[in-house]
Structure 1
Amino acid sequence: MSCVTVRSKFIFDKFKAVSSAKLRKKHVWTNGNVVISPFKDVQIPETTVVDYVWRNLDKWPTKTAAVCAVTNRGYTYEQMYKLYQTFGANLRKKFNIKDGDTVALMSPNTPEYPVVSFGVLAAGGIVTTLNPIYTSYEVKRQIELSDVKLVVAHVDIVPVVKEALKLAKTDLKIIAIDVDRPLPEGTISYKELVEDKHVDFNILKEVNRKPDDVAFLPYSSGTTGLPKGTELTNKNFIANCEQQNTELRQYYPTSETYQDSVLAILPMFHSYGLSIIMLHKLSVGLRLVTLPKFQPDTFLNAMIQHRLNLMFLAPPMVLFLGSSPAVTKKHFENIHSITSGAAPLPSADIENLFRKADRELSFVQGYGMTEASPLVTLSPKGNKQYDAVGYAIPNVKLRVVDSNMNNLGPGETGELVIKGPNVMKGYKNNPEANKEVFLEGGWYRSGDVANIDETGMVYITDRLKELIKVKGYQVPPAELESVLKEHPKVHDAAVIGIPDLKTGERPLGFIVPKTDEKITNEEVIEFVAKRVASYKRIKDIVVIDSIPKNASGKILRRKLKENYC
């Protein structure tokens, strides 16, 4: 890096810090106790995600768009553009994908993930993302709820998808991402589709998608219940991208002589990895370094070999960086910014990381949810209030309300409600769930307990929603309860989250056996393990006489915690 570049970055950072400080002096509390962002609102382009992300292709065509940290397989921006256009045209022509059709994508993070995603969007489709470690039962449910027309899956996951389709009694076609593996029997080659030399791109001119049309359909449990299809529009994602291109910017602009490299280890099926890393960072010309999963060796090798500049992490990874003997200051040589999200993070873990780096890095914490595409608040560079999650990002308004939905003032604690152009359209085909979470005027109930100080800094203190957070992932109790009650010997069941030193929380199951049935904890645990992803598994079961419930039949989880935890 040249001295001129370093100096220009120093000036840029200094300007940002001064500008942010001035903006935050502006009063963010309105007379009605609505909190506005201290940062200037942004203009949101009226276009689609695929056109927005690729609007500046001519500025960095030969820069690397994505590279695999394990295999070093990668694509430049112009290569990725051609691949996704070819894939999209073939989806429209050979698979009859029409505007608004849903295509399922199930894969770990690879350079092909964005190719498939943009290809589906280019064809006019909607992408529903699936967790690559889902069981066939979980895949079956999402495929049915999403009305999927086609499945695209990594070769290693094809057996799970086939079993899911068998359970769903459907014969959907499977495109296998086979760039470095043999093509599984009974599937269609992704490689052949993207390398097609005779594709007719004119068919893409038929596509007619609008800013308010749904682009992605990830699944979220919201404030409670089973996972629901979260309808996120083109405008939702574009808004969240533009909201990051402000004083809150964590990256350095891409130029002819410079390009930031960002670690893409947070799963792209999740809104954090999908939106903040994949969509936003490609829209500004950064280099994605993909890792399919967290493994200490490949994780640390990527930091050095790919000269990473930005890292977006979940708390367990921050803990690893601050505590592992294998981590040295050499791993942080090129890092200029680290952002943590998905769950609260103790300041001690951040200080341990700084000690490993032998310097104080720019460390930023944020808060969000799938329903907000996902970013809601973010700390500006230089902020050291590590127990806070930052300020409302541009165009976002916040309220803290009591149980009667009355607005509370500075320092008062209540439920956080959110309004902004990044908030979802709604849950797919679920008017009851939408009625529960949306208040009059388009305000979304987060289900999280918060307070906001006089400057607008947000503190998340608890959550009203019943979700269990395991390593930052959502585990809805209702989903596990449904699985438990499928066991032929179980009459009733309940699940709560209990503290765990390694994972943050873990699920604890309670069962009421059917009359005269003998059942062991081991057989119940094994039954659940076959039907859910590993992070959702129950490791402990408590047998009780009855599940405590209120008059309307709702499980009293707090009572279970009081009596058994």
Structure 2
Amino acid sequence: MYQKVMTRTNMVTKNIQKLLLVRKYSNLSSQHLWTKENVVNSPYNDIQLPSLNVTDYIWQNLDKWADKPAMICGITNRSYTYNELYKYSRILAVKLRTQWDIREGDITCIMMPNNPEYAIVTLGSLEAGAAVTTINPLYTVHEVQRQLLLSNPKIVIGSPETIGLIKEACKNTRMNLPIIAAKNSNESLPPETISFLELIDDRNVDFSVLNTVTKNIDDIALVPYSSGTTGLPKGVELVHRTLVTNFVQQDAEGIRHYQHTTDSHQESLLAVLPLYHLYGLAVILLQKLTVGAKIVTLPKFERKTFLHAVKEHKTSLLHLVPPLASFLGSHPSVEDEYLSHIHTYISGAAPLPKQDIFRVLEKSKSNVDFLQIYGMTELSPLATTVPPGSKNYTSVGVALPSTKLRIVDSDDQNMEPNAVGELLIKGPQIMKGYRNNLEATKAVITDDGWFRSGDLASIDYDGVVTIRDRIKELIKVKGFQVAPAELESVLKEHPDILDAAVIGVPDAKLGEVPKAFVVVKDGCKQDSTNVKKFVEDRVASYKRLSDVEFMKSLPRNPSGKILRKVLRENYS
């Protein structure tokens, strides 16, 4: 055991030394990456833009792994093969078309925790020609009804634990929506809902109905809600073409960090990161279905069930966010036996401290890869990745194929290598725009097609991107994004509150937490406990306020914008 520990310690020491020596990506060429205009190209060849929609792209190789497991529940072990996934999603698509008249341009809404049925309802909706919007199952009624009003779905698919919230939200918004309940065979069907199991258990289905579905690659496929660079949640319109393009970009030679499924090999992934978020839905679920991987779902993170699933299903590829990486590296219950099958860790959603990476590496086999990726919902969602084999743990890698990058100053002038400024991205994976919000779309996509990330970054001579800080105002709580404007809007619903501002303040356990600054109306009195309780009743747990500070007025610029920088400097 001592020798094993020393071997791993030496390995980590060598990796640190390589990092300090600024080791470059050995398999990449830095020639011609930087243009004379200081635009950075991808080091990889451009991809051929696909002409298939999401479902056709996933099913094109179905015969290669039809009998392989596609989706497995990490709790109950119920599972679907690829052939069953194909069959049941198409049955659901027929039912959506014939029973609820779902047509191209309609929205179906999914609100449930991670489970194997998530894949069926997503693919079934797309097969029917609809677009899919997803809702966080931790949302309150207040948050659910807001997204229902914004997205205007034609049908909702929930699970027993979310049906009550969905019904109350529908009642409050006066939306009479059919609700499908995706439940286990052992669970009772919630009243006034449609059984998902009964819908897909049908041997007499006329699949010719699906021949009438228009399959235009520029039709909207997903409408996840994101706060973008700032503000209240906005519907991000992702068309089939942008999503499939990003699948192909991730599968390019030199970037791909997995093997395609064969008769003797199948990658095993653990989907514990939420599928309502595009990182989980597009990167972990949909893209990995295109290569025949086995995806094991967990409805939430719990130490025992997580470790059991990792070991039982021999997880080979594990997607992380910083809190999960910290758990793997620091918790004494995570022993090397649980990680023995993992060959690659991929971390995204927020920057990850080097020490957490090294702790995970110490517990892992010597030839393991630890890669960081960078993107956002508006990019379908990836823009950069660290190539396999790299030991540069502080960067988010290089641009994906067919992707260009540039760093600009406050005057939008392109900056030279290693300069720090805002990162702009251009590529075929950029969203169509924000749903019914042309002004917000124009604020983030320039006239010549560059997407403003809102992040401060630098790019070195070899095209390697390092994220330095955030320009945008989003607060990141354990990898979850919290928009200050959303909490400010909730605070202003309080009858005694005149004005409010919210910022993120450091927290040793959660990374950041929201803190509110409140101005009460004349003649009114409030205390922090009551204000926090008011917000707590209306938002998910990770959005709750950590502290409330009362002020006579809020600092604003001449145009009326809250000066959060002043609040951070003087009060946090």
Give, as a single letter, the amino acid of the residue that structure 1 aligns with 2:145: K
* Superposition pairs of residues 258-407 of structure 1, within 5 angstroms: 258-357=265-364, 359=366, 361-407=368-414
Q: What residue identity is the alignment partner of 2:413? A: N
Question: Is 1:69 matched up with 2:92?
Answer: no
What SS does the corresponding residue of 1:394 show, helix, strand or coil? coil
- The alignment status of 1:23 with 2:28, answered yes or no, reads yes
Q: Work out the CA distance in 1 between the residues paired with 2:272 and 2:31.
A: 37
Shift of 1:560: 0.6
Moved more, 496-505 or 350-359: 350-359
SS at 2:230 equivalent: coil
**Cα distance in structure 2, aligned partners of 1:64 and 1:270:** 23
Other-structure match for 1:169 = 174
Residues 22/308 of structure 1: CA separation in 2 closer, same or farther (3 Å cut) = closer
Shift of the 297–386 alpha-carbon distance from structure 1 to 2, 3 Å rule, reads same
Report the count of equivalent residues. Answer: 547
CA contact (8 A) 2:30 2:463 kept: no
Structure 1 partner of 2:83: 78
Q: CA deviation at 1:322?
A: 0.4
Could you list the per-position Cα deviations for residues 201-252 of structure 1 after superposition, in whole angstroms to 9, with x for gaps in the alignment? Answer: 1111111031111100001101100010000010111111101112111111
Q: What are the equivalent positions in structure 2 for 1:372-451 lying under 5 Å apart?
A: 372-451=379-458
SS class of match (1:292) = coil
Worse-matched range after superposition: 440-449 or 196-205: 196-205
Distance in 1 (CA, whole Å) between partners of 2:162 and 2:26 is 49
1:201 aligned to 203, 207, 211, which one?
207
Alignment partner of 1:190 is 2:177: no
Residue 564, structure 1, aligned to residue 566, structure 2: no
Shift of 1:534: 0.9
| 1:491-506 mapped onto 2 (5 Å cutoff) | 491-506=498-513
Secondary structure of 2:28's match? Answer: helix
In 2, the alpha carbon distance for the partners of 1:27 and 1:469 equals 36
Q: Describe the SS at the equivalent of 1:24.
A: coil
- Report SS of the residue matched to 1:506: strand
In the other structure, the counterpart of 1:242 is: 248
- Do the aligned partners of residues 265 and 427 (structure 1) sit closer, same or farther apart at CA in structure 2, a change above 3 Å counting? same
Q: Give the C-alpha shift of residue 326 in structure 1.
A: 0.3
Q: Separation in 1 of the partners of 2:411 and 2:103?
A: 45
Task: List structure 1 segments (4+ residues) > 6 angstroms apart after TM superposition.
Answer: none
Note the alpha carbon deviations across 1:411-463, whole angstroms, 9 max, x for none.
Answer: 11110011111110000000110111111211110000111000000010011
Matching residue's letter, 1:227: P
Residue 153 of structure 2 aligns to which amino acid in structure 1? Answer: V
Q: Is the 8 A contact 1:365 1:379 kept in 2?
A: yes
> 1:511-533 CA distances to partner (integer Å, 9 max, x unpaired)?
11111111121111111111111
Q: How does 1:517-532 map to 2 (within 5 A)?
A: 517-532=524-539
2:98 alignment counterpart? 93
- Aligned equivalent of 2:50: 45
Residue equivalent to 2:6: none
Identity of aligned residues (%): 50
Distance 1:128 1:136 in 2: 17
Q: Deviations along 1:27-71, whole A, 9 cap, x unmatched?
A: 310111110100111112211101101111111000000101111
Structure 1 Cα separation of the partners of residues 527 and 27 of structure 2:
63
TM-score of the superposition, structure 1-length normalised? 0.95
Question: For 1:516, what is the secondary structure of its paired residue?
Answer: coil
Helix, strand or coil for the counterpart of 2:287? helix
Contact 1:179/1:190 (8 A) holds in 2: no
Q: Is the Cα contact below 8 Å between 1:346 and 1:386 reproduced in 2?
A: no
Q: Name the amino acid aligned to 1:255.
A: T
Whether contact under 8 Å (2:322, 2:347) holds in the other structure is yes
The TM-score normalised by the length of structure 2 is 0.94
Q: Tell me, yes or no, if structure 1 residue 456 matches structure 2 residue 466.
A: no
- The residue type paired with residue 312 of structure 1 is H
Tell me how far apart the structure 2 counterparts of residues 133 and 323 of structure 1 sit (CA, whole Å).
27
Superimposed CA distance per residue, residues 97-117 of structure 1 (whole angstroms, 9 cap, x where no aligned partner): 011100100111110001000
The gaps in structure 2 that reach 5 residues or longer are 1-23
Q: Report the alpha carbon displacement of residue 197 of structure 1 after superposing the two structures with TM.
A: 2.3
The secondary structure found in structure 2 opposite 1:23 is: coil
Measured after TM superposition, the shift of residue 255 of structure 1 is 0.5
Whether 1:553 aligns to 2:560 is yes
AA paired with 1:169?
Answer: R
Cα shift at 1:359: 3.1
Q: Provide the C-alpha distance between the structure 2 equivalents of 1:57 and 1:456, rounded to a whole number of angstroms.
A: 37
Provide the secondary structure at the position in 2 that maps to 1:277. Answer: helix
Aligned equivalent of 1:540, options 538, 547, 559 = 547
Separation in 2, partners of 1:535, 1:413: 31
Amino acid at match of 1:96: D
In the other structure, the counterpart of 2:4 is none
Alpha-carbon distance in 1 for matches of 2:399, 2:406: 11
Distance 1:393 1:271 in 2: 17
Quote how far apart the aligned CAs of 1:169 are.
1.4
| Pairwise CA RMSD | 1.2
Cα deviation code 1:265-290 (max 9, x no counterpart): 11111110011111110000000011
Cα deviation, residue 358, structure 1: 5.5
CA distance in 2, matches of 1:491, 1:211: 47
**Superposition deviation, residue 23 in structure 1:** 3.4
Instruction: Judge conservation of contact 1:266–1:273 (CA < 8 Å) in 2.
Output: yes
Pairwise CA distance, 1:20: 7.1
Shift of 1:300: 0.6
Aligned partners of 2:388 and 2:61: how far apart in 1? Answer: 26
- Tell me the amino acid that sits aligned with residue 470 of structure 2: R
For residue 469 of structure 1, the aligned residue among 472, 476, 481 is 476
* Matches of 2:49 and 2:408, distance apart in 1: 28
C-alpha distance in structure 1 between counterparts of 2:473 and 2:345, whole Å = 29
1:32 aligned partner = 37
Deviation string, structure 1 residues 74-100 (Cα, Å, up to 9, x no partner): 100001111100001000000110111
- Determine whether 1:57 maps to 2:62: yes
